[in-house]
């Protein structure tokens, strides 16, 4: 079962990426005390008093944060502030509850039902997302087909006096762009049915440290992925000349340096898709080509781990020594190399 502490860390991570200024007329201000004579806050830095109004806005902000993370968009100042300040209020409530054991009293917080929504889920993944919401404790889950053939899923949680449940499994990547990329994930080496990919020779660009030879990308047990050459050049080496000189020419001169970087720093990827996560995934090849408009390629093993059915929307981050790298060479608006 997911622990509350993990949820707190995830939400704080999301909140910390936005500004911390509190808007004058935000819901966060509802629970704070004003001087009746001056109209000013008694203590602008104090956490708000717990109330139904604050709880309702908090639940809405959690849902907004989840949607923003899934779609790769930025969390607004208002949402981030509400999450931060309400967490402080809940922490204060916990302290007050401990004091009540020695005679202090604490007003009870009644948190109402809240909903979480995820859009643009492919038909092959929607049932898994529904199940993930149920496993996370949703009281009810509904799915609705959208005009483009994808689905939206709405889950309702009955908190019963406690904080909202932990982030839905499969949404482990909690950093915003440019430290994460959301786009189409496809396959290489093998197709989803295990047949050979005719456009791939089965030989990885990077070296398998276990064998000292290039990765065998047609190995069904190989956990690995591949990123566009443009992204690796810009992210690992800060080389952007491919934008003017062409990728083939620039890659020919710098591909060995990319190999050296990967061998030395051992970047690992965390990949979310359809309510599932693949962690500590190494780079084993280079590609997809920019013309495919795909953000990442997966080996047979990882594609089945995420149940992509060969192609699906995915979000990834690149970690070096556990810290996310700023991803360059990718256009976050068009979701394409650029």
**Rounded Cα–Cα distance for residues 271 and 88 (Å):** 31
* Residue 187 shares a structural domain with residue 298: yes
* Residue 104 shares a structural domain with residue 216: no
Confidence at residue 65, expressed as pLDDT on a 0 to 100 scale: 59
* Residue 195 shares a structural domain with residue 333: yes
Better pLDDT: 103 or 218: 218
- Range with the lowest mean pLDDT among 94-103, 114-123, 292-301? 94-103
Residue 149 lies in a domain: no
pLDDT, average across residues 189-216: 96
pLDDT, tens digit, for every residue of 235-281? Answer: 999 999 999 999 999 999 999 999 999 999 999 999 999 889 999 99
Average pLDDT, the chain: 76
Domain end among 63, 86, 115: 115
Confidence at residue 49, expressed as pLDDT on a 0 to 100 scale: 55
Better pLDDT: 53 or 153: 153
Into how many domains does the chain fold? 2
Residue 124 lies in a domain: no
Q: What is the CATH number of the domain that holds 201?
A: 2.40.40.10
Residue 127 lies in a domain: no
pLDDT, tens digit, for every residue of 223-247? Answer: 999 999 999 999 999 999 999 999 9
Is the pLDDT at 173 greater than 70? The verdict is yes
* Residue 193 shares a structural domain with residue 68: no
Specify the pTM: 0.56
Residue 57 lies in a domain: yes
Domain end among 67, 93, 115: 115
* Residue 192 shares a structural domain with residue 330: yes
Q: Which domain holds residue 212?
A: 181-337
* Residue 191 shares a structural domain with residue 107: no
Domain end among 95, 115, 135: 115
Residue 317 lies in a domain: yes
Residue 128 lies in a domain: no
* Residue 94 shares a structural domain with residue 193: no
Is the pLDDT at 217 greater than 90? The verdict is yes
């Amino acid at each position: 079962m997911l622990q509350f502490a993990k949820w707190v860390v995830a939400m704080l991570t999301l909140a910390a990426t936005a500004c911390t200024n509190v808007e004058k007329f935000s819901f966060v201000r509802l629970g704070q005390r004003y001087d009746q004579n001056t109209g000013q806050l008694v203590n602008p830095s104090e956490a708000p008093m717990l109330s139904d109004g604050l709880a309702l806005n908090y639940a809405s902000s959690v849902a907004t944060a989840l949607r923003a993370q899934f779609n790769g968009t930025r969390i607004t100042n208002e949402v981030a502030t509400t999450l931060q300040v309400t967490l402080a209020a809940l922490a204060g409530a916990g302290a007050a509850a401990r004091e009540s054991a020695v005679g202090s009293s604490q007003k009870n917080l009644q948190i109402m039902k809240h909903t979480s929504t995820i859009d643009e889920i492919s038909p092959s993944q929607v049932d898994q997302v529904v199940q993930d919401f149920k496993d996370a404790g949703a009281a009810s889950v509904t799915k609705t087909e959208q005009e483009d053939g994808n689905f939206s899923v709405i889950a309702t949680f009955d908190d019963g006096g406690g904080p909202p449940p932990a982030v839905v499994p499969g949404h482990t990547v909690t950093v915003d762009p440019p430290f994460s990329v959301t786009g189409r994930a496809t396959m290489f080496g093998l197709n989803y049915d295990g047949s050979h990919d005719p456009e791939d020779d089965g030989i990885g660009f990077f070296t398998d440290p276990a064998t000292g030879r290039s990765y065998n990308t047609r190995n069904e047990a190989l956990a690995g992925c591949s990123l566009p050459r443009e992204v690796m050049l810009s992210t690992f080496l800060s080389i952007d000349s491919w934008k003017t000189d062409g990728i083939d020419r620039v890659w020919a001169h710098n591909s060995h340096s990319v190999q050296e970087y990967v061998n030395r720093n051992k970047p690992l990827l965390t990949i979310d898709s359809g309510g599932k996560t693949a962690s500590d995934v190494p780079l084993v090849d280079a590609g997809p080509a920019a013309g495919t408009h795909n953000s990442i390629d997966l080996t047979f093993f990882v594609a089945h781990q995420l149940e992509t059915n060969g192609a699906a929307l995915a979000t990834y981050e690149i970690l070096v020594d556990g810290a996310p790298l700023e991803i360059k060479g990718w256009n976050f608006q068009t979701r394409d190399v650029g």
